[in-house]
Amino acid sequence: MYQSDAGAAPASLTPEALPALPRSDRGWSWWVGSAITLAVLGAALVQLAQVDFARMTAIVPTGAAFWAVFALSYFAGPLGDFIIFRRLWQIPASGFLALLRKLIGNELITGYVGDLYFYTWARQRTGMTSAPFGAVKDVAILSAMAANIVTLALMVMAYPLLDTLHLGIDSSAFTWSVVLMLVISSGVLLFRKKLFSLPARDLWHVTVVQMLRVVATLVLTGWCWHLALPAESWELWILLSAMRMLLSRLPFLPNKDVVFAALAVFMIGHDAEVGTLMAMMASLLLVTHLGLGLLLMGSEAAGWRKK
């Protein structure tokens, strides 16, 4: 994917060689980051009122194994990003909280809002890097590429199951989805020299970590489903995983897990337990986003008084 010389950024453009960006406690990046913080807080409060806590708690599994695997699946994404930016910028432990805010912003509002927030967070800490935008952009692109690759693999695995499970899914929809992702991925590879800013060795590191992150999240989520409904077949989990990954590729769709749950219930309405499980998992993820979002964004808003 990357060549050791051609794919690397020129020495004059590497983060170490660029001059430090000016810092300001009340610059545009502070105002943008603050606006995103308020938007996430508002979205969390609005959606919190729509959660049926009684219904969710009545069906959520109580076993310790389920909760342990759920926690691992939730934090796998921010942990992968932390490993990446720890290498690129040597960010402190507090950077993990900023990456959690990034995840929650993307999930509660719309895709890439969290990335914009993280860019403003990084720009205010220019002691870590003098070119934060290039790194955030490269990581976002490679994250999408890794998800595309895993989604394509899942769809290839799920294609033979469409008829055997009798879910009434049109196979042509899968085919066109595969074609679209192949076109997008091919375009990124074709213009990689113009798109990417990081050196080739960093791009390879980001790619490997992103692939491991996507696969780990996928496996852990499927494990959660299995722990909740161990009697269901692995074929159904593969198909549902492919559906979930496909929906996750829509960048401007908020609350993707809620949409996925509704689609899963529509597709497999004959299986009440599976439909209930998908709805419960969507509610559980939403409540986790809301709870952590209110806590993290609230603590950041409270810290504005110190500036």
Q: Give 289-307 pLDDT, tens digit per residue.
A: 888 888 887 776 666 555 5
Tokens of 9: 């950024």
Distance CA 223, CA 230 (A): 9
Please indicate, yes or no, whether the overall pTM of this predicted structure exceeds 0.85.
Answer: no
The answer to whether position 131 is within a domain reads yes
Q: What is the pLDDT of residue 195?
A: 79
Distance CA 132, CA 296 (A): 22
> pLDDT under 70 in the chain at which residues?
1-58, 110-111, 126-131, 161-182, 184-193, 249-259, 261-272, 300-307
What is the dihedral sign for C-alpha 112, 118, 119, 120? positive
3-state DSSP assignment of residue 20: coil
Quote the domain boundaries for residue 64.
Answer: 25-302
Specify whether the CB–CB gap between 207 and 139 falls below 8 A: no
The answer to whether position 172 is within a domain reads yes
The answer to whether position 19 is within a domain reads no
The answer to whether position 14 is within a domain reads no
- Closest residue by Cα to residue 217 from 65, 76, 66: 76
Residues sharing a CB contact under 8 Å with residue 68, sequence separation 6 or more, in sequence order = none
The answer to whether position 256 is within a domain reads yes
Mean pLDDT rounded to a whole number for the chain: 74
Q: What is the pLDDT of residue 82?
A: 96
- What is the Cα Rg of the chain in Å? 20
24-65: pLDDT as tens digits: 445 555 556 556 666 655 655 565 555 566 666 667 888 899
Q: What is the pLDDT of residue 13?
A: 41
Report how many domains make up the chain.
1
The answer to whether position 16 is within a domain reads no
Q: What is the pLDDT of residue 22?
A: 47
DSSP string, 144-203: HHHHHHHHHHHHHHHTTHHHHTT----HHHHHHHHHHHHHHHHHHHHTHHHH--S-HHHH
The answer to whether position 15 is within a domain reads no
Distance CA 55, CA 204 (A): 45
The answer to whether position 193 is within a domain reads yes
Please report which residue ranges of the chain form alpha helices under DSSP H: 28-48, 53-59, 64-89, 95-108, 113-123, 132-158, 161-164, 171-190, 192-195, 200-228, 234-248, 256-267, 272-303
Q: What is the pLDDT of residue 3?
A: 54
3-state DSSP assignment of residue 125: coil
